[in-house]
Amino acid sequence: MAAQRGRAGGPDADNAPTAEMPAVPAGAEVVRSRAAIPEAAVARLAVYLRVLSAMAEQGATTVSSEELSSAAGVNSAKLRKDLSYLGSYGTRGVGYEVSVLVGQIERTLGLTRQHRVAVVGIGNLGHALANYGGFPGRGFPVEALFDLDPDLIGVPVGGLPVSHVDDIPKVCAERQISIGVIATPPTAAQSVCDRLVAGGVQCILNFAPVVLQVPGHVEVRKVDLAVELQILSFHVARRADHVNNGSLELDGAGGNGVVVR
């Protein structure tokens, strides 16, 4: 049933074989295939990639860990550690070549492949998603749309006609969809999910506020507005409590902002 990977750093960690760590030879066997990049680092790599792309557009050819990390909102040690999972592509005393990093991150994230996307549920959100048109920075073309509403079937949205949810398995298989996006009401989500899985979809991005049950080989990520808002609510409440309790020291020495430390 594969637990959701949602929000906060899903654990999961399939016994991923660890690094071919250059040094390793020591003992004996060990080693396996590729390197186990921590889940948390993967998420950040995607952010670095975006920042780097922006920098490249501005004509930058080189960046230091300091520059890149501050643009990405992390500290430089973490950035360097994250990049080290890719291998050693920096130049000591200098920094990283932007184009090299972009290439390596893309390769690592599997962005050299195409990942065909289907969107299910063409309501407000589904519309928004369908109109993203080719999704973020290409590589994720939307190739199928589905809904239940007879009035929508056949209507083109973002240039693509809507199909009926009953056809999900067939259409997904035909069009080799690898990522299914669920933007339906919660009640429909599980059955849609089952059909996507039947259609051979490997990953699901779920916007519906339900915990999906999927077979172990399917990867699920959840985007949950209510959860996000409630987490923010928690922080507001906590802050308010602190103030009430008079323990508003909070930023003790030097009154720096926060985070920093």
CA quadruple 4, 7, 13, 14: dihedral sign: positive
Q: Radius of gyration (Cα) for the chain, nearest Å?
A: 22
Selected binder of its own copies within 9, 141, 159, 185 (CB under 8 A): 9
Residue 231 in the binding site for its own copies (CB under 8 A): yes
Amino acid at the residue 108: T
Selected binder of its own copies within 59, 110, 150, 254 (CB under 8 A): 110
Query: Residue 124's binding partner, choosing from its own copies, DNA, none, with beta-carbon cut-off 5 to 8 A by kind?
Result: its own copies
Contact (CB, 8 A) for 185 and 121: yes
Parallel, antiparallel, or unpaired for β 160-164 and 203-206? Answer: unpaired
Of the candidates 197, 190, 198, the residue with the CA atom closest to the CA atom of residue 219: 197
Query: Residue 88's binding partner, choosing from DNA, its own copies, none, with beta-carbon cut-off 5 to 8 A by kind?
Result: DNA
For residues 73 and 154, which CB has a smaller minimum distance to its own copies in the complex?
A: 73
Contact (CB, 8 A) for 207 and 215: no
Residue 138 in the binding site for its own copies (CB under 8 A): no
Which three-class secondary structure string do you get for 17-71?
Answer: CCCCCCCCCCCCCCCCCCCCCCHHHHHHHHHHHHHHHHHHHCCCCEECHHHHHHH
For residues 105 and 171, which CB has a smaller minimum distance to its own copies in the complex?
A: 105
Selected binder of its own copies within 33, 84, 91, 176 (CB under 8 A): 33
Contacts of 243 (CB under 8 A, 6+ apart): none
Query: Residue 229's binding partner, choosing from DNA, its own copies, none, with beta-carbon cut-off 5 to 8 A by kind?
Result: its own copies
Residue 216 in the binding site for its own copies (CB under 8 A): yes
Residue 205 in the binding site for its own copies (CB under 8 A): yes
Residue 72 in the binding site for its own copies (CB under 8 A): yes
Smallest distance from its own copies to CB 139, Å: 8
Smallest distance from DNA to CB 244, Å: 23
